[in-house]
Amino acid sequence: MDIKSKILIVDDDENITELISLYLNKEGYDTKVVHSGNQAFPAYQSYNPNLIILDLMLPGKDGFDVCKEVRQVSNTPIIMLTAKGETFDKILGLELGADDYIVKPFDTKELTARVKAVLRRSAPQKEKSKLIELQDLTINMTHYSVMYKGNKVEMPPKELELLFFLASSPNQVFTREQLLNRIWGYEYLGDTRTVDVHIKRIREKLNETDNWAIKTVWGIGYKFEVK
């Protein structure tokens, strides 16, 4: 029997948590619900979920603080859920390590599709080894790991997949729209700055070398340049 993926839902609106839990249970997921930011991290530690749906505006700690707490110990995928739609909040959430962002009110089918997409991206690739080895850099999609200069680099699933995709096609230029559609796996409702945020985070973790670099192609997008 397949093991159910576990999803932790953190939102102070009981009607919303009941609705999300109902739909996800129908899709075969196991769910746990808490209604405050202060309950979120203890629930995460005891429940050990495969994914967290995290509201931004919470009593106690807000969603940003909870996201930072989780990211200090784990790359468990996080979908931010909030009534706010400002670009600032989206960018900040992504910079803190959230994997996706959906604005209330939302369609339950859309949320379910995003949950499936995020879980699919974060699942280990069992079919075959996917490995890129360059000087000072190894990207292993079988284990979802990155080694840089002999040290393991922690990356959320989206950052790692974006890096692997670019490095898989050295010196090929991709537009931001192409990268959004390829990495997010559906018609993403955000904007192309999402790609910029993830590239920035990758560059902060991996300094370019004399042999390779992630280059900005002004007015178009990005490429992984192998020299």
Beta bridge partners of 138: 133, 147
Q: What is the DSSP code string of 29-96?
A: -EEEEE-SHHHHHHHHHHH--SEEEEESS-SSS-HHHHHHHHHTT----EEEEES---HHHHHHHHHT
User: How buried is 193 (Cβ within 10 angstroms: 0-12 exposed, 13-18 middle, 19+ buried)?
Assistant: middle
For 52-96, what is each residue's pLDDT tens digit? 999 988 999 998 899 989 988 888 899 988 776 655 566 777 777
Task: Let me know the angle formed at the C-alpha of 119 by 71 and 80, rounded to the nearest 5 degrees.
Answer: 50
Beta bridge partners of 34: 10
User: How buried is 81 (Cβ within 10 angstroms: 0-12 exposed, 13-18 middle, 19+ buried)?
Assistant: buried
Q: How confident is the model over 138-165, as a mean pLDDT? A: 90
Beta bridge partners of 213: 225
Q: Which residue has the tokens 């985070």?
A: 201
Give, in order, the Cα–Cα distances in Å from 121 to each of 19, 76, 105, 157. 24, 12, 25, 7
CA distance 122 to 17: 23
| Helix or strand (DSSP H, E) at 15 | helix 14-26
Instruction: Write down the pLDDT at residue 126.
Output: 44
- Residue 44 banded pLDDT, cuts 50, 70, 90: very high
Judged against a pLDDT cut of 50, whether residue 223 lies above it is answered with yes
Judged against a pLDDT cut of 60, whether residue 200 lies above it is answered with yes
Tell me the pTM: 0.59
